[in-house]
A and B are shown apart, each in its own frame.
Chain A
Amino acid sequence: MWALRHYLGLHRANFIGALGRLGSQPFATALTVLVIGIALALPAGLRVLVNNAGAVSDAWQSAADFTVYLKLTVTAEAAARLARSIEARDDVASVELIDRDEALAEFRADSGFGEALEALDGNPLPHALVVRPASGIAGDVEAVAAAIDALPETDLVQLDTAWVTRLRAMLALAARIVDLATLLLGLAVAIVVGNTIRLEINNRSVEIEVTKLVGGTDGFIRRPFLYLGVCYGLMGSLLAALLVGLALLLLGPPVRALATLYGSGFALEGLSLGENAALLLGGSVLGWAGAGLATARHLRAIEPK
Chain B
Amino acid sequence: MIRFENVHKRYPGGREALSGVSFSLERGEFAFLTGPSGAGKSTLLRLIALIERPTRGTVLVNDQNTARISRRRIPAFRQRLGIVFQDHKLLYDRSVFDNVALPLVIAGASRREIERRVRAALDQVGLLGRESHAPITLSTGEQQRVGIARAVAPRPDVLIADEPTGNLDPELSLEIMELFTRFNEVGVTLLIATHDLELIERMSHRRLRLVAGQLTGDSGPEEQ
Contact B108 A214 (CB under 8 A): no
Contact B150 A214 (CB under 8 A): yes
Contact A213 B110 (CB under 8 A): no
Chain B residues whose CB sits within 8 angstroms of the CB of A216 once the complex forms: 75, 102, 106
Q: Tell me whether B155 is interfacial, beta carbon within 8 Å.
A: no
Contact A305 B51 (CB under 8 A): yes
- Interface with A: B19-27, B76-84, B198-206, which one? B76-84
Q: Closest CB of chain B to A213's CB: distance in Å? A: 6
Q: Which of chain B's residues 33-83 have a Cβ closer than 8 Å to chain A?
A: 49, 51, 72, 75-81, 83
Chain B residues whose CB sits within 8 angstroms of the CB of A108 once the complex forms: none
Given the interface pairs A3-B108, A6-B108, A304-B51, the reply to whether A217 lies near B75 with Cβ below 8 Å is: yes
Chain B residues whose CB sits within 8 angstroms of the CB of A274 once the complex forms: none
Chain A residues whose CB sits within 8 angstroms of the CB of B81 once the complex forms: 215
Q: Tell me whether A2 is interfacial, beta carbon within 8 Å.
A: yes
Chain B residues whose CB sits within 8 angstroms of the CB of A217 once the complex forms: 75-76, 106
Q: Tell me whether A252 is interfacial, beta carbon within 8 Å.
A: no
Q: Tell me whether B213 is interfacial, beta carbon within 8 Å.
A: no
CB closest chain-B residue, reference A206: B91
Q: What does the 1/0 interface line of A278-305 toward B look like (CB < 8 Å)?
A: 0000000000000000000000000111
CB closest chain-B residue, reference A210: B89
Q: Tell me whether B133 is interfacial, beta carbon within 8 Å.
A: no
CB closest chain-B residue, reference A300: B71
Q: Tell me whether A220 is interfacial, beta carbon within 8 Å.
A: yes
Q: Tell me whether B103 is interfacial, beta carbon within 8 Å.
A: yes
Q: Closest CB of chain A to B64's CB: distance in Å? A: 15
CB closest chain-A residue, reference B82: A214
CB closest chain-B residue, reference A217: B75
Report how many A-B pairs have Cβ atoms within 8 Å. Answer: 55
Given the interface pairs A206-B91, A207-B91, A210-B89, the reply to whether A215 lies near B107 with Cβ below 8 Å is: yes
Q: Tell me whether A75 is interfacial, beta carbon within 8 Å.
A: no
Q: What does the 1/0 interface line of B169-196 toward A look like (CB < 8 Å)?
A: 0000000000000000000000000000
Contact B103 A215 (CB under 8 A): yes
- Contact of B75 (CB < 8 Å), options: A2, A9, A10, A212: A212
Q: Which of chain A's residues 212-253 have a Cβ closer than 8 Å to chain B?
A: 212-218, 220
Query: Cα distance A214–B89 when bound, in Å?
Result: 10
CB closest chain-A residue, reference B103: A214
Contact A213 B49 (CB under 8 A): yes
Contact A215 B106 (CB under 8 A): yes
Chain B residues whose CB sits within 8 angstroms of the CB of A207 once the complex forms: 91, 93
Q: List 9 A-B contacts (CB under 8 A).
A: A9-B111, A206-B91, A207-B93, A211-B106, A213-B51, A213-B89, A215-B75, A215-B103, A303-B51
Interface residues of B (CB under 8 A from A): 49, 51, 72, 75-81, 83, 85, 89-91, 93, 102-103, 105-108, 110-111, 150
Interface residues of A (CB under 8 A from B): 2-3, 6, 9-10, 206-207, 209-218, 220, 303-305
